[in-house]
Chains A and B, each alone.
Chain A
Amino acid sequence: DAGVIQSPRHEVTEMGQEVTLRCKPISGHNSLFWYRQTMMRGLELLIYFNNNVPIDDSGMPEDRFSAKMPNASFSTLKIQPSEPRDSAVYFCASRRTGTGANVLTFGAGSRLTVL
Chain B
Amino acid sequence: EDKVVQSPLSLVVHEGDTVTLNCSYEVTNFRSLLWYKQEKKAPTFLFMLTSSGIEKKSGRLSSILDKKELFSILNITATQTGDSAVYLCAGDYNQGGKLIFGQGTELSVKP
User: Is the A/B pair a real complex?
Assistant: no
